[in-house]
Amino acid sequence: MRSPEDELTTLYEEGLLRSLRCLESGRLMSATSEGRTIVNFSSNDYLGLSRDETLVDAACEATRRHGAGSGASRLISGTLPPHKALEEKIAEWKGTQAALSFANGYATAVGVLGAFLSKGDVVILDKLCHACLIDGARQSEATLRVYPHNDLNKLEHLLRHYRERLPGKSRLLVVTESVFSMDGDRALLPGIVSLVEQYDALLLLDEAHAVGILGSSGQGLAEELGVEDRITFQMGTLGKAVGSGGGYLAASRPWIDLLLNRARPFIYSTAPPPAQAAASLCGIEIITSPRGKELRNRLWSNISRLTELVGKTPSSAIVPVILGDNETALDTSLALLNKGYLAPAIRFPTVPRGSARLRITLSAGHTAEAIEGLHENLPESP
């Protein structure tokens, strides 16, 4: 039998070994790691809400009132007032009949795709979709097809092909992210929505990196473009800009009713702690308030500042610096860390081989000096 040591050695030799880094205090703009203060450009806490006092208080209050754990799965006795309040808030915010929350975004994707798809259905994904969407699609046993990133001609070709061949009862689902997690670019959403309608398919939109950042009430890219009413399944995480943890699907009532009957990660797992749901609700309340708008404006001025310095068009809070091979990415990341900036190296299999990169994420809380300092220490335009 092969030993774990052998596998670890192979990973090391390929420059693909990963290990954990513990940030001792603070996670947002400045953190300490091994006794040093560093500026964190790696968090998805885009608005800084995870350390917001109102969220922390909401979590503490929910814990005192409802306990540290939920005690059972949601369908048994684990559904507590914070879960219900959170889901009502998500549905109201997204303008859908209903919503269902999950322990995290990963479980949401796997749960939704597994619940709605089965053998004989077809799911078509953008090539750069997040691992959880791919895993969910694979586990569903539906036929899985992939189109090159944002290639709407290829998407149309696949839709036409399957629309002509699929029996009437089979489902045809397109899956895309709105802001892509490792490149920070956006889906060509209006075109995708039109194609999905033209070929009578369904659309699952994962707004993980757009929630809180795009749209007048922070709903995401669909709201920004005014197409939210035309998307059957609006999915997202509560662990990034919302500042807590969890995931959600917002949809019409029958789909949500079906989901809670079929989604295995929802059914066979203890409900998330009430503190998590209460903090998520509080995060959404802030995102939809004037303060949320102010935080978004601050984030966007930080995005503009960095993208201008590196000569890119601003499209999201994620700014990749593609370096190519694993070693260069690791060395560059380490050199930055020595200068006091945390910008992680992202390697295969998170990104395709040969496109290892620094993934810089911006937050509303970064200062102009920190961004300029980071830029001065980045390698010359590769």
In this chain, which of 43, 50, 101, 181 binds ligand PLP, going by CB under 6 A? 181
Provide the minimum distance between the beta carbon of 349 and ligand PLP in the complex, in angstroms, as a whole number. 15
Cα dist. 358→44, 342, 371 in Å? 14, 10, 15
Chain Cα centroid distance, residue 372 = 27
Q: Catalytic annotation on 209?
A: yes
Q: Which stretch binds ligand PLP (CB under 6 A): 64-72, 202-210, 315-323, 364-372?
A: 202-210
Q: Looking at beta carbons, which residue is closest to ligand PLP?
A: 105
CB of 42 to ligand PLP, least distance (A): 13
Which residue in 181, 244, 355, 363 is the catalytic one? 181
* Nearest C-alpha neighbor of 239 from the set 40, 49, 82, 22: 49
State yes or no: is 66 an active-site residue.
no
Total residues interacting with ligand PLP, rule: CB under 6 A: 14
- Number of neighbouring beta carbons within 10 Å of residue 138: 14
> Strand, helix or coil at 210?
coil
Helix (H) or strand (E) holding 36: strand 36-40
| Shortest Å, Cβ 43 to ligand PLP | 12
Task: Look at the chain and count its residues.
Answer: 382
Helices marked H in 67-80 — which ranges? none
Q: Is 218 in the site for ligand PLP (CB under 6 A)?
A: no
Between β-strands 247-251 and 233-237, what pairing exists: parallel, antiparallel or unpaired?
A: antiparallel
Taking residues 240 to 269 in sequence order and writing x for each that binds ligand PLP by CB under 6 A, - otherwise, the string is -------x----------------------
Residues 58-117 that bind ligand PLP (CB under 6 A): 104-106, 109
Q: By CB under 6 A, is residue 209 in contact with ligand PLP?
A: yes
181 is annotated as an active-site residue: yes
Where does this chain touch ligand PLP (CB under 6 A) — which range of 119-127, 205-213, 291-299, 372-380? 205-213
Under 8 Å between Cβ of 282 and 350: no
Q: How many CB atoms lie within 10 A of CB 273?
A: 23
Tokens of 290: 């004037």
Active site residues: 181, 209, 240
Residues found near ligand PLP in the complex (CB under 6 A)? 104-106, 109, 130, 132, 177, 181, 206, 208-209, 237, 239, 247
